[in-house]
Chain A
Amino acid sequence: MAKKISGLLLTIALAACIFFLNKPLGSTPALGMFLSPTHGFWKSTSIKEPRSTSIEIKCLKGNATVVYDEIGVPHIFAGNEEDLMYAQGYVEAKDRLWQMEFQMYAASGRLTELVGEKALSLDRFSRRIGIVRAAENSLKEIEKDPVSKLVVESFTAGVNAYIAQLDESQLPVEYKLIGYKPEQWTPLKCALLMKYMAKDLTYYDTDIENTNALRLFGEEAYKKMYPDFPPPSIDPIIPVGTKWNFKAQDTFSSKPNILADVLYNNPHKDYYSNPNYGSNNWSVNGSKTKSGKPILCGDPHLGLNLPSIWYEIQLSCPTMNVYGVTIPGAPGVIIGHNDSIAWSVTNAERDVINNFSVEYADANKKTYKFHDNYIPFEYDVQTFKIKGKKDFIDSIKITKVGAVVYDENYDESNDKKHIATYWRAEEPSNDLLTFYYLNHAKNHSDYLAALNYYACPGQNFVYADVANNIAIRQQGNFMLRTLAGDGSFVTPLANADLAKLKSKIPSDQNPQVLNPERGFCSSANQNPVDQTYPYLTNGSYENYRNRVINNTLTEAKNYTWQDMGKLQNNNLSLLAKEVLPTLLSYLNASNDKDANKILATLKAWNYEANHEIDAPSYFYKFWNNIETVTYDELDEKNVSFRLPQPYNTANLVVNDPKFQLFDIKKTDTIETAKEVANIAFQKTVSFFKEYAKDKANSIKWQHYKNTQITHLARLDAFSLKDIPIGGYHNIVNACSDHWGPSWRMIVDFTNGKPQCYGIYPGGQSGNPGSKGFTEFVEKWSKGEYYKLHFFANKEEAIKSINQKL
């Protein structure tokens, strides 16, 4: 009997044990499930990843053949477009399901469901700025157009077909770690992905910071820190001298900008995107190449993540054959080529956000002043499910221009500083169609027609085709503005001109050029145009990479694709070349051994930020200190400022050393650039003295910079660090610590048919347990490329993989 009782107790204890081992506890996975070889992480290693083989997928109308090549790129051959899109959804889910879904949680502000309360502030930000509202507006447009509706629905069906045949034990390891299962994919999610990218590429607005700077420093200093057309000269996307064949029409009356008498804070600036997410692209025609045929290049610069943001794919059916990269979750190919044309994109960096100060009628804050009335807010009530806690409800005030992002419920306690934000991405548009029509385009008119669907984020689309044409257009729905300063500052919501806010410069008046005399088109996030263009083009521009690229392409003769590869991997720091000599000339002589060692290294440096040398580490720390010491005025608690572009600071150091901001507020003396240089250099020397004390620290640029490729769930064990690669901000090889060339592509028209060379820092597989997860990283870091396959039909594809075996 005693045995029976203890038996019963043991059984109950075991049942409880298994029950708890089956549940995630906080951030610990369900250990029992997770460690079991039949269902846990061990099992996640056995997911088949086809290589050099083909599989058949049963689609909506017929079958599709997917030929996987030797690097794991799927080449899909279908009988019609629906089956092709279905197969694309299926194949992308097969490799990258977790990434596709995780991006959705981030975009929809639902990370708290996966990681708990620590993500609540970020999730609230995502929902307040309106990524979901924007996607819902976009979905309405997608469903109105029969083409985009079919594309998105077929793609969705394919993703869901893959999910349906998965059993629990075959889930990617991240699901098992966090403790959840995949949801159904929906057409809304395709739209959400586009708007998530829009946020990534436009949400770094500086109206708040500009307003503060103008108020505190005055107009003259402001223009020197943040000039619209940085002196001494710019090298815009559209060559200087290009004539505009239209007359600007501005029918909007403009009330003068009234600045509020407050200094604003931007409480969640760290949730803003990085304006440095730029990119390079260029195309040259036959006049510059050895073959007499064009070459097109593109390298988008985005956060370096695993699984990689890009995914290579070929999509082929009787009406279309295209190769390139897509973002898992978006149907079609986003950057790439077909039989006739090639294209790539860089971020336009044009300002598409307007911020307005809100005036309440009274302390109840239920109405706001708009023109001569007080209008009641509408409310967008959002519920946040939090893992392990009860739901959080956020009631978002909505005005005629957009949401009040910061108010007393979300970090802005000062009523006078509440800000309503207009974000262009919320306007209805059907941007997916641009990629659909580019995938099908055969010539320049097709390319233009495709671009006309594109609204937000503004991008520079570079183009080349088999007929030796090259072109570029900055495309987006940009607000029509001609009054200086318009759109750059916080202005009263009461005065907002809705018609102007929602206005659009006609697409054929956007900056563009076809077959320019100079034989090349290029963009690297610089000013799109010079002062002769009749509309405002305010944005966040640099002036280094563009000049290196354009100088090189101007000199280019008899270029091959390998020469283009060298340019994409160019490590020249033009910033260092232009400012370091002056800085060194400002420095006083020193007896300090360490200081002189650093000086000697800098003096001997050829300005190339190569990974195996020390000089770039010294220079960039020195430059960072120059900025910190100069801009002590910008270091105010609860007042946001933006750092001037390095190009402008460098220009002031060299050409305007008595500029007022070089003066350090704390001291009684008046400093100029010379004193700043010496103080900054002293700080640099001290820093490296300290830094060298830890034997684990290395001064080599590779280690000091520490380029990392980080897993989306921020798991160190699934990430890579200390990648041996050079480059930096404002360098053509724009490889920083967490972001850089996320895809490098060269499309060579030498043999008539486009031949693509490409690579990205990751691998086709999204499975951390797979060799394919990080397969391409080493080659990418060395500046090498894969020769990619573009098959005319499935027979050719199958023959090719059989030959290799």
Chain B
Amino acid sequence: MFIIKSAIIIILSIILTFFLPWYTPFIICFFTGLILSNKPGNNFLAGLVGVGLFWSVYALILDIKNGHILSSKVAQLFADSLQTQITGGVLIMVTAFLGALLGGLSAMAGAMLADNGSRKKRKAVKNSSYTLKL
């Protein structure tokens, strides 16, 4: 189930984020959690994988096309101010991690705010149908 949700998140992110702000995928995750609610853990996974994949794959594509020129320079920038060694690969991981974490949490937050009455009702209906049979 979370795979379908991940797919929805990815597709919607790709369509919408190019003319909306950078945090649009997280809003999409939130609403996915809110509307298609399930267990929050399940939603967390959906957001994690959805945005995690979207961001890391897109960053990788851009980086490879660029021949790693800019990512190594930006890594150097951060390394200079943090006084450590950072490579372009680390930047990809940080990007993926940031996107994944925020995506997962957003989806989970949405799920937690969702109205679970519907789920309880479905469960109640299911149980009641058993009772009736007895």
Q: Which of B3-11, B93-101, B125-133 lies on the face that meets chain A?
A: B93-101
Q: How far is the CB of B113 from chain A (nearest CB, A)?
A: 4
Known: A717-B76, A769-B73. A38 touches B109 (CB 8 A): no
| Docked-complex contact B77 and A717, CB < 8 angstroms | yes
Instruction: Kindly list chain A residues whose C-beta atoms are within 8 Å of the C-beta of B66.
Output: 45-46, 769
Instruction: Kindly list chain B residues whose C-beta atoms are within 8 Å of the C-beta of A4.
Output: 112-113
| Docked-complex contact A14 and B105, CB < 8 angstroms | yes
Q: Tell me if A3 is interfacial: C-beta within 8 Å of chain B.
A: yes
Q: Mark B88-129, 1 if CB is under 8 A from A, else 0.
A: 000100110011001001101111110010000000000000
Q: Mark A276-319, 1 if CB is under 8 A from B, else 0.
A: 00000000000000000000000000000000000000000000
| Docked-complex contact A37 and B80, CB < 8 angstroms | no
Known: A42-B62, A46-B62, A718-B73. A37 touches B55 (CB 8 A): yes
| Docked-complex contact B109 and A14, CB < 8 angstroms | yes
Q: Tell me if A395 is interfacial: C-beta within 8 Å of chain B.
A: no
| Docked-complex contact B98 and A3, CB < 8 angstroms | no
Q: How far is the CB of A8 from chain B (nearest CB, A)?
A: 6
* The one of B23, B95, B102 that contacts A37, using a Cβ cutoff of 8 Å: B95
Instruction: Kindly list chain B residues whose C-beta atoms are within 8 Å of the C-beta of A7.
Output: 109-113
Known: A36-B55, A38-B17, A717-B74. A14 touches B26 (CB 8 A): yes
List CB contacts (< 8 Å) of B33-73 with chain A. Answer: 40, 55, 58-59, 62-63, 65-67, 69-71, 73
Cα distance A40–B99 in the bound complex, in angstroms: 13
Q: Tell me if A43 is interfacial: C-beta within 8 Å of chain B.
A: yes
Q: Tell me if A35 is interfacial: C-beta within 8 Å of chain B.
A: yes
Cα distance A36–B109 in the bound complex, in angstroms: 21
Range for the number of chain A residues in contact with chain B:
35 or more
Q: Mark A1-36, 1 if CB is under 8 A from B, else 0.
A: 001101110110010011001100001100111011
Instruction: Kindly list chain A residues whose C-beta atoms are within 8 Å of the C-beta of B69.
Output: 45, 768-771
In this complex, what residue of A is CB-closest to B73? Answer: A717
Q: Mark A710-734, 1 if CB is under 8 A from B, else 0.
A: 0000011110000000000000000
Known: A32-B23, A35-B95, A38-B18. A8 touches B113 (CB 8 A): yes
Cα distance A11–B30 in the bound complex, in angstroms: 9
Known: A17-B102, A717-B77. A22 touches B23 (CB 8 A): yes
| Docked-complex contact A10 and B98, CB < 8 angstroms | no
Q: How far is the CB of A47 from chain B (nearest CB, A)?
A: 10
Instruction: Kindly list chain A residues whose C-beta atoms are within 8 Å of the C-beta of B19.
Output: 167
Q: Tell me if A791 is interfacial: C-beta within 8 Å of chain B.
A: no
* The one of B73, B77, B98 that contacts A32, using a Cβ cutoff of 8 Å: B98
Cα distance A18–B62 in the bound complex, in angstroms: 24
Known: A43-B62, A768-B73. A10 touches B108 (CB 8 A): yes
| Docked-complex contact B106 and A42, CB < 8 angstroms | no
Instruction: Kindly list chain B residues whose C-beta atoms are within 8 Å of the C-beta of A6.
Output: 112
In this complex, what residue of A is CB-closest to B58? Answer: A37
Cα distance A43–B58 in the bound complex, in angstroms: 9
Q: How far is the CB of B111 from chain A (nearest CB, A)?
A: 8
Known: A36-B22, A718-B73. A46 touches B65 (CB 8 A): yes
In this complex, what residue of B is CB-closest to A718? Answer: B73
| Docked-complex contact B108 and A173, CB < 8 angstroms | no
Q: Tell me if A41 is interfacial: C-beta within 8 Å of chain B.
A: yes
| Docked-complex contact B70 and A769, CB < 8 angstroms | yes
Cα distance A120–B70 in the bound complex, in angstroms: 31
Q: Tell me if A700 is interfacial: C-beta within 8 Å of chain B.
A: no
Known: A18-B102, A45-B65. A40 touches B112 (CB 8 A): no
Instruction: Kindly list chain A residues whose C-beta atoms are within 8 Å of the C-beta of B65.
Output: 45-46
In this complex, what residue of B is CB-closest to A773? Answer: B69
* The one of B71, B74, B99, B116 that contacts A36, using a Cβ cutoff of 8 Å: B99
Cα distance A6–B109 in the bound complex, in angstroms: 8
In this complex, what residue of A is CB-closest to B79? Answer: A717
Cα distance A717–B91 in the bound complex, in angstroms: 15
Q: How far is the CB of B123 from chain A (nearest CB, A)?
A: 16
In this complex, which of A37, A39, A718, A768 has the most chain B Cβ atoms within 10 angstroms of its Cβ? A37
Q: How far is the CB of B23 from chain A (nearest CB, A)?
A: 5
Instruction: Kindly list chain A residues whose C-beta atoms are within 8 Å of the C-beta of B106.
Output: 14
Q: How far is the CB of A45 from chain B (nearest CB, A)?
A: 4
Cα distance A31–B97 in the bound complex, in angstroms: 13
Q: Tell me if A44 is interfacial: C-beta within 8 Å of chain B.
A: yes
Cα distance A21–B55 in the bound complex, in angstroms: 16
| Docked-complex contact A33 and B80, CB < 8 angstroms | no
| Docked-complex contact B67 and A3, CB < 8 angstroms | no
In this complex, which of B23, B55, B98 has the most chain A Cβ atoms within 10 angstroms of its Cβ? B23
| Docked-complex contact A45 and B73, CB < 8 angstroms | no
Instruction: Kindly list chain A residues whose C-beta atoms are within 8 Å of the C-beta of B79.
Output: 717
Cα distance A22–B77 in the bound complex, in angstroms: 19
Instruction: Kindly list chain B residues whose C-beta atoms are within 8 Å of the C-beta of A770.
Output: 69
Cα distance A770–B14 in the bound complex, in angstroms: 25
Cα distance A43–B71 in the bound complex, in angstroms: 11
Instruction: Kindly list chain B residues whose C-beta atoms are within 8 Å of the C-beta of A38.
Output: 17-18, 22, 58
Instruction: Kindly list chain A residues whose C-beta atoms are within 8 Å of the C-beta of B22.
Output: 22, 32-33, 36, 38-40, 169
* The one of B58, B67, B77, B105 that contacts A42, using a Cβ cutoff of 8 Å: B58
| Docked-complex contact A716 and B95, CB < 8 angstroms | no
Instruction: Kindly list chain B residues whose C-beta atoms are within 8 Å of the C-beta of A717.
Output: 73-74, 76-77, 79-80
Instruction: Kindly list chain A residues whose C-beta atoms are within 8 Å of the C-beta of B99.
Output: 36
In this complex, what residue of B is CB-closest to A30? Answer: B22
Known: A36-B55, A46-B65, A715-B77. A11 touches B109 (CB 8 A): yes
| Docked-complex contact B59 and A37, CB < 8 angstroms | yes
Cα distance A715–B17 in the bound complex, in angstroms: 30
Q: How far is the CB of A236 from chain B (nearest CB, A)?
A: 47
Known: A37-B58, A42-B62, A715-B77. A10 touches B23 (CB 8 A): no
Instruction: Kindly list chain A residues whose C-beta atoms are within 8 Å of the C-beta of B116.
Output: 3
Instruction: Kindly list chain A residues whose C-beta atoms are within 8 Å of the C-beta of B91.
Output: 35
Cα distance A33–B98 in the bound complex, in angstroms: 11
Cα distance A11–B109 in the bound complex, in angstroms: 6
In this complex, what residue of B is CB-closest to A8? Answer: B113
In this complex, what residue of A is CB-closest to B97? Answer: A35
Instruction: Kindly list chain B residues whose C-beta atoms are within 8 Å of the C-beta of A32.
Output: 22-23, 98, 102
Cα distance A658–B102 in the bound complex, in angstroms: 76
Instruction: Kindly list chain A residues whose C-beta atoms are within 8 Å of the C-beta of B70.
Output: 41-42, 44-45, 173, 768-769
Cα distance A405–B110 in the bound complex, in angstroms: 60
Cα distance A43–B62 in the bound complex, in angstroms: 7
Given contacts A40-B22, A771-B67, 8 further A-B contacts (CB under 8 A): A7-B111, A18-B102, A32-B22, A32-B23, A35-B91, A45-B63, A169-B18, A717-B80
**Sampled A-B contacts (30; CB under 8 Å):** A4-B113, A10-B105, A10-B108, A18-B26, A18-B102, A22-B22, A32-B22, A35-B95, A35-B98, A36-B22, A37-B55, A37-B62, A38-B18, A40-B22, A41-B70, A41-B71, A42-B71, A42-B95, A43-B62, A45-B63, A46-B66, A169-B18, A169-B22, A716-B76, A716-B77, A717-B73, A718-B73, A718-B77, A769-B69, A770-B69
3 A-B pairs closest in CB distance = A7-B112, A769-B70, A717-B76
